[in-house]
Amino acid sequence: MRASIVLLTIGAAGLLAVPRGFADEPWDGGRTVPVHRIPLNDCEGEGIVPCMRSAKPVSMSKTCGTCHDYAKISAGWHFNSSSGKVPAGRPGEPWVLVDGLTGTQLPLSYRGWAGTWNPAAVGMTPWDFTKQFARHMPGGDTGEPADVFSPGDSHARWTVSGKLEANCFACHNGSHAQDHSEWVRQIGRENFAWAATAASGLGEVGGMASRVKSTWTMNDGPNPDDSEYAVPPYVKYMMAQFDSKNRPVLQIERPPDQNCLNCHSVSPAHAEKKDVDADVHSRAGFKCVDCHRNNISHAIVRGYETEAADRKDASVGDFSCRGCHIEDPAKGGGRLGAPHPKHGGLPPVHFEKLSCTACHSGLMPGATPTDVRASRANRLGIHGRALWFTDAPFIQEPVFAKGSDGKIAPHRVMWPAFWARRAAGKLTPMRPDELEKSAKGILDAGHQIGTVLKAIAQLGDELGEVVFVASGKLFRANTDGEVDLDAKFTPPAGSASGFVLLKDGKLSPLVSDFDAAAAQLEPAVETRLLDLLQALAPDDSAVGAPALARGKKIYTRSDDGSLTTSDSPEARAASVWGRMVNEKFQPIVPDFAVRAVVETAGTQQSFIEEQLVAMLQALAATDKSAEFVYVGRGYVFALGKDGKLTTSSDPAAEPVFWPVGHNVRSAVASLGAKACTECHSTDAAMLFGRVVAGGPLKTKTVAVKTMVDISKLDGTYNKLFGFTFTMRPLFKMMLWGCGGLMAAVLGVGVLGGLQRFARYLGRKD
């Protein structure tokens, strides 16, 4: 009886015990990270037995959450953007919805930052947002909705994919097996609940949630009807990592820089890795988390100057530039051995008007800002067979603008580009999926050519590589089904154009020359022609049967495989490939598509004004009650009553800015360290650099702003003030000259005085 009472008492005590980390007990002073040899739990809180075929993926809330307050952690800065319950804070980098086909680069944010759109306002549900951007999210936020059956998100598949919990491993896993690229691949497969397990290296995840039926759940296990295609997600744990009690040793530590840089890298767009310097703090041995600190709340210190006031927490101010390097040590300055700069000869007004980053952070300013790529916007740091990174969105740095504190600071800038409906002067952006049907055949010029090249290439390359030549430029098919300009090869003058063969540096037609007026073609020519027509046959007959027009003849392939000849109302000197649509011959690639590919070759742009007009007309045809516009290059483009393109200004076309924090340069590389004229001259890049609106549309109607305009400074005053610095050497020479003249006059006066004094002494004697 006594033993039973003891056991019941122990059991009750165990039930009442508060897991460590939830009781908010004070830190014990230990500076080490405990060894995390712990059992893993699944989403139902059940212990994972790794050898079981039915083992489920690791759940962060049920594994890490046994000791750490998951609710507090998942409300931290990385996970709370969509909650609407936290202050927006200083503007940061927005999420950018990018679509190459439609020329979309739309800045999004749930935080309501200036120039951004709320995802919900453009029709993006939490499911849509997670699918689009979770590749560079550490889980949580929109990936962990409170209601997986929300009526406003009817196409969501949360019951299949599982929730994307806040992934503690994404930041805290110090193992070399932590693989961000694997995380991205699992997100693409909609294996949300499995992504953390796969990326951590604890197990190998197979199957794709995106392929299974919407009725499947994690408890259903394998698909008995399909073991090849619609294979549900599963995990095979790496047994060598587990002990006899099914516990792995997790390499948990303070977040290493490598993990931070997965989502927070920024580099010049066309630089080589060897030429890019690390932040001066990193070179000195600092880690990101030495300054960007947090407690269990995960309200990470962002490090900007007014953050302490914004958060009403004075200790946060210690980790801004000023807090470390300028503040008196008695007030928290000088942390981590920060040197105190003298700023000798620098007028104090600079500290009132400029942020520290204006001189010390980001790339050095030039006549125009530098194009850069950022991890989250341009999909950097994802490795595999495919190239994941994109040139769009087009981001520039540095652009000097006033921050929320009124000080001039370097910013990154991106110009929005998107299609929209306009009603009563208000714009509503359209998602790429709304535009896809109208865009086909208009905006996909490169794809149209690439599709033909790919089809003909199926015949083999014995005769040469199939390429496309137009306006003295040669294009090759790429792996994305588009075409790339071969800048190293210039077609000889007078060479064949259109779809041709390239072999040993020489161009030749797809079909050897023949006489279209002849009664019968040579057998070799006819066979080759039939092969090409067969290769170009579309899957959809509505597209039109492939054809070749030459002279006054049109050649097609009949259903029985024989060559059919018909008369053409138009005589053509050269062979032209096309399709028969409603018994009329049309070029296989429209002329406007060829012009678009030629004009945009070698540029950042992807379509031209001719396509823009056609797209606006196509959209208008789908809904005659609405007005459609395109926002890009700093303007709003629309069709006037006469059907011609018009432009206007609109706040929605203005660029979106976010401040630059890193990389911090060394003191000798700071702006103005060489001379005052780096900033104070008539052509100083910091003040008079030109910011040209970037974007997918190739047009001459492009917004251009100068730094003084963006910073809201007086350009005339700064020109004159800069001119005085240019003239200062002359002023100094004049001053030295005047000083020398005054010294000479004074010397003559002194000598004269001495002479008179000597005479006086002589008379006295």
Share of the chain above pLDDT 70, in %: 96
Q: Enter the pTM of the model.
A: 0.90
d(CA 448, CA 379): 26
For the segment 702-719, the average pLDDT, to the nearest whole number, is: 95
Distance CA 305, CA 311 (A): 11
pLDDT at position 734 = 86
List the one residue out of 701, 438, 436, 483 whose CA is nearest residue 594: 483
How confident is the model over 421-456, as pLDDT tens digits? 999 999 999 999 999 999 999 999 999 999 999 999
Least confident segment among 6-15, 69-78, 378-387, 415-424? 6-15
Least confident window among 58-72, 278-292, 359-373, 751-765: 751-765
Q: Distance between CA atoms of 345 and 713, rounded to whole angstroms?
A: 24
**Does residue 241 carry a pLDDT above 60?**
yes
| Mean of per-residue pLDDT scores for the chain | 92
Q: Following DSSP, what letter does each residue of 3-52 receive, concatenated?
A: HHHHHHHHHHHHHHPPPTTTS-PPP----SPPPEE---B-TTSPBP-TT-
Helices (H), 415-478: 432-439, 445-457
Is 9's pLDDT higher than 70?
A: no
What average pLDDT does this structure show over 119-141?
Answer: 97
For range 340-360, the mean pLDDT: 93
Quote the pLDDT of residue 730: 80
d(C-alpha 586, C-alpha 580), whole Å: 6
Q: Distances from the Cα of 262 to the Cαs of 138, 255, 375, 380, in angstroms?
A: 10, 12, 7, 8
CB of 653 closer than 8 Å to CB of 703: yes
pLDDT at site 4: 45
Question: Pick the residue with more confidence: 495 or 284?
Answer: 284
Q: Measuring CA to CA, how many Å separate 351 from each of 303, 343, 346, 407, 409?
A: 17, 10, 9, 9, 12
Element (H or E) spanning 655, and its range? Answer: none
3-state secondary structure of 707: helix
Distances (CA, A) of 634 to 89, 412, 418, 656, 742: 26, 16, 11, 11, 59
pLDDT of residue 462: 87
Residues 399, 368: Cα–Cα separation, whole Å: 9
* Averaged pLDDT, 333-338: 82
Instruction: Give burial (CB, 10 Å; 0-12/13-18/19+) of 478.
Output: middle
pLDDT, average across residues 651-657: 98
Mean pLDDT of 14-38: 70
Residue with tokens 């730094």: 707
**Which letter does DSSP use for residue 601 in this model?**
T
DSSP H or E stretch at residue 287: none
Provide the pLDDT for residue 654.
98
Q: CA 11, 13, 19 angle in degrees (round to 5)?
A: 110
Per-domain boundaries in the chain: 418-439+607-653, 445-600
The 3-state DSSP class for residue 153 equals helix
pLDDT of residue 764: 64
> What does the DSSP 8-state code read for residue 544?
-
pLDDT average, residue stretch 114-131: 96
How far is 37 from 216, CA to CA, in rounded Å?
33
Provide the 10 A C-beta neighbour count for residue 26. 5
Is the model's pLDDT at 124 over the cut of 80? yes
Burial of 459 (0-12, 13-18, 19+ CB in 10 A): middle
Does the pLDDT value for residue 7 go beyond 70? no
Question: What is the Cα–Cα distance from 552 to 569, expressed in whole angstroms?
Answer: 7
Per-residue buried b or exposed e for 690-701, using 16+ beta carbons within 10 Å of the residue's own CB? ebebbbbbbbee
Q: pLDDT tier at 724 (50, 70, 90 boundaries)?
A: confident
617: CB partners within 8 A, 6+ apart? 639, 643
For residue 380, CA distances in Å to 69, 141, 280 come to 32, 21, 22
* 99-124: average pLDDT: 97
The model's pLDDT over 179-238, given as tens digits with 9 standing for 90+, comes to: 999 999 999 999 999 999 999 999 999 999 999 999 999 999 999 889 999 999 999 999
**Residue in the structure block whose two tokens are 């030109």:** 690
Mean pLDDT of 237-262: 97
Q: Which among 555, 564, 546 has a CA at the least distance from the CA of 455? A: 546
Q: How many CA atoms lie within 13 A of 696 on its CB side?
A: 26
pLDDT of residue 16: 38
Of 25-34, 82-91, 725-734, the one with minimum mean pLDDT is: 725-734
Cis peptide before 398 (omega within 30 of 0): yes
Q: Which of 59-68, 304-313, 495-504, 718-727 has the lowest mean pLDDT?
A: 718-727
